[in-house]
Amino acid sequence: MTEEKLKELLSSMTVEEKIGQLVQLTGDFFIDEGIATGPMEWLSINEDQVKCTGSILSTVGAKKLKDLQDRYMAINPHHIPLIFMADVINGYRTVFPIPLGQGCTFNPELVEEMASVAAKESARAGIHVTFSPMVDLVRDARWGRVMESTGEDVYLNARMSSAAVKGYQGSSIGDKDKISACIKHFAAYGAPVAGRDYNQVELSERTLKEEYLPAYKAGVDAGARMVMTSFNTLGKLPCTANEDLMKKTLREEWGFDGVLISDWAAIKELVFHSVAENDEEAAYLGIKAGVDIDMVTNVYINNLKKLIDEGRVPMQWLDDCAYRVLAYKNELGLFENPYKDADEDYDGKVDSEHMAFARKAAPESFVLLKNEGMLPIPTKATNDCGSVAFIGPYMNETNICGSWTIFNNNDDNITLEQALKERNPEISYVIEPGCKTLAAGQHFVGFQSKFDNPLTEAEQESMMEKAVKAASEADRVVMAIGEFNQMTGEGASRTEITIPEHQLELFRRVAMVNDNIIVVNFSGRPLDIREINKKAKAILQVWYPGTVAGYAVMDVLFGDAAPSGRLSMSFPYNVGQVPVYYSELHTGRYAEDPENRFTSKYMDAPNDPLFVFGYGLDYTDYEYSNLRISSNTISENSPIKVSVDVKNVGWRDGKEVVQLYIQDMVGSVARPLRQLKAFDKVDIKAGETKTIDFTITTDMLKFYDVNMNYVAEPGEFKVYVGRDSKASLCESFRL
């Protein structure tokens, strides 16, 4: 449809019809016979209002959505198609590692390909828009939604944000097998006070602009056509009502001309935030801030008409929002093809090519935290390794995809036990779960459904005894343990970020009878694993790996694939350190002298996390040498080339993540100890030396100075290159 036709359509619509385009409902409102009365009563809206709805949330299935679209367009006064939106976070039917694990790949091209696969499967299921990627910067592991972010670093998050958007959208959201991305949650949702979900956020303007906004902007610059507001307050003003943030920053400064949607009921929650006296005032604040779509409330649909009639809301505000929604539908191609890519023959089927790709991709997200000669496990074909006991609840757990994989079919998921038995390795092995992911008798209400462990204490004890006996008779033990998958995600903040106590008890009892323990750790956040680190000889962090978890984990354990992930978020020494991250400020009393009491340090713990950002081992090893820079001075027109030689000194080929950090030695405001500014994931064969080149430009040196100008200040800088954020090879240059 041409722009002229779109404007004609808008001008032909009544006020009520325009408001309807700004309303998102769930599929519960639409039934085979027409419109459901129950949901209408629940939301206090009428049938005529439902007929004008603009979009539907969380209903999927090609056949179902085609039928729904037909029935809706038949009753809509202008036969305007619906947009179908859903939370496809780390995959639709083929589920990939959680986003935090994807951040650990340090491979934007891989992340883009994973998003592209998710887009195809979602589009064939009738979905037009995914509420992904979540690009919130995260530094507090207590917050459950860290699993949806790609981590703690500004630069890495921005790279992954851009990659995901390109993967979902391709060159156009109207293209075959592409869907629209939705950047969320705007803004700074990842920094809630005390790590408690939905809590207030307190950031300086400088910190907000330098550290928290870049990933959102990267997504917008990559072409994201939708942005979602966040639940939190920022400077005590709810973001959903923050006109300066939404209009000045997002639309005017960044040039975003797409659709702005609230998070679930976020406009209505302005009342609970105590910035709106009632729903009418909330509707006024929401549309004044330029929020185009109200997600699943009656605030817009029952209040905007009155506000317009009274002159409080100019008709232009409504027209602007409604036009953006109509233009969005047009960009998706829905006026010409309201079904877009919905395909009943494809939808719901397992795509073998996608599964094979997921199996190849997952090991790049695994982070080998420790390995004292235990991995990979040798077989009789290479070396007689003796017997192995595979113990832990994640040996036969099917919930291995993360808490937000709401369209995944658990029956498709490959457990570790299934993969091990299919592999039938040339070793003597036994499998004893030892316990379930939840403790005996534990009741857990998760985000999606209710979970219970029906075991009695006696039954759990019997399971543990069998596992401990198996461990005592084995030469080495693989323990697959970790958080229950509903312990992370939305609404899953925790003050104790450890592996569940009954699983730790299993670990302790196994450690008493066998020293050769390999821990395979499943979690949606960095955990306090001090106890495990002391007693285990190898630790493989696998997050929630997705549909083919079993295959991918076994591939790594037996050496068919190597873990090449590096931490995208620091693992704290204990929960008392959080938020903990590598790019902190020096402070006036940096803890360099351990004997000096009056420095910035803890009395009962180190300052450094247990495992730092960027850290990760491989099945081979690397030697860095000969760091060199092309010049000791840099200017706007004369960038610096940085080169380093990296040699694979191990016995097998590997993938190394070469990381470059910069430290600004003196600034008009305090500067971080160092910041990641570039990285390169490279294949290096055993015995091979590769020269890795980076280019430093003055744009990489910019920050918000004392006057809030975004500049690169003259002075001395240090560049560090190495394997993680503690990289020691260093050179200096001046601007």
Buried b (16+ CB within 10 A) or exposed e, 572-610: bbbbebbbbbbbeeeeeeeeeeeeeeeeebeeeeeeebb
Mean pLDDT lowest for which of 8-22, 295-309, 369-383? 369-383
Return the structure tokens found at 710: 């975004």
Tell me 599's DSSP state.
Answer: S
pLDDT for residue 475 is more than 90: yes
Tell me 248's DSSP state.
Answer: I
pLDDT for residue 449 is more than 60: no
| 427-443 mean pLDDT | 92
Return the structure tokens found at 294: 């109200």
Q: Determine contact, residues 122/208, Cβ cutoff 8 Å.
A: no
| 240-249 mean pLDDT | 98
What does the pLDDT look like over 515-544, one tens digit per residue? 999 999 999 999 999 999 999 999 999 999
Give which of 60, 50, 9, 69 is closest to 405, Cα–Cα. 60
3-state secondary structure 647-670: EECCCCCEEEEEEEEEEECCCCCC
| pLDDT given for residue 384 in this prediction | 67
Q: What is the CA radius of gyration of the chain?
A: 27
| 486-491 mean pLDDT | 93
| pLDDT given for residue 593 in this prediction | 80
Phi, psi angle pair for 480, to nearest 5°: -100, 100
* φ/ψ bin of 444: left (φ > 0), alpha (ψ from -120 to 50), beta (otherwise): beta
pLDDT for residue 172 is more than 80: yes
* pLDDT classification of 30: cutoffs 50, 70, 90: confident
CA distances to 580, 584, 587, 592 from 598, in Å? 20, 19, 12, 11
pLDDT for residue 131 is more than 90: yes
* 3 state SS of 509: helix
Percent of the chain surpassing pLDDT 90:
91
pLDDT for residue 280 is more than 80: yes
| pLDDT given for residue 29 in this prediction | 86
The number of beta carbons lying within 10 Å of the beta carbon of residue 673 is 15
Please confirm, yes or no, whether 244 is among the known catalytic residues. no
Domain 365-576 sits in CATH at: 3.40.50.1700
Choice among 263, 292, 555, 664 that is catalytic: 263
Q: Determine contact, residues 548/358, Cβ cutoff 8 Å.
A: yes
In words, the CATH class of domain 622-734 is: mainly beta
| pLDDT given for residue 448 in this prediction | 55
Chain-wide mean pLDDT for the chain? 96
| pLDDT given for residue 161 in this prediction | 98
Structure-derived torsion over alpha carbons of residues 105, 407, 399, 555, reported in degrees to the nearest 10: -40
pLDDT for residue 447 is more than 60: no
What does the pLDDT look like over 697-707, one tens digit per residue? 999 999 999 99
Give the span between the Cα atoms of 609 and 568, in whole angstroms.
13
Mean pLDDT lowest for which of 247-256, 447-456, 481-490? 447-456
Give the span between the Cα atoms of 599 and 452, in whole angstroms.
48
pLDDT for residue 382 is more than 70: no
Give which of 537, 724, 566, 435 is closest to 150, Cα–Cα. 566
pLDDT for residue 595 is more than 90: no
CB-neighbour burial class of residue 705 (10 A; exposed 0-12, middle 13-18, buried 19+): middle
pLDDT for residue 673 is more than 70: yes
| 568-591 mean pLDDT | 95
| pLDDT given for residue 33 in this prediction | 67
| 593-610 mean pLDDT | 91
| pLDDT given for residue 383 in this prediction | 63
pLDDT for residue 270 is more than 90: yes
How do 689-696 and 34-35 pair as beta strands? unpaired
Angle at which helices 457-472 and 501-511 cross, to 10°: 30
What is the residue extent of each domain of the chain? 365-576, 622-734
pLDDT for residue 446 is more than 70: no
Give the span between the Cα atoms of 566 and 543, in whole angstroms.
12
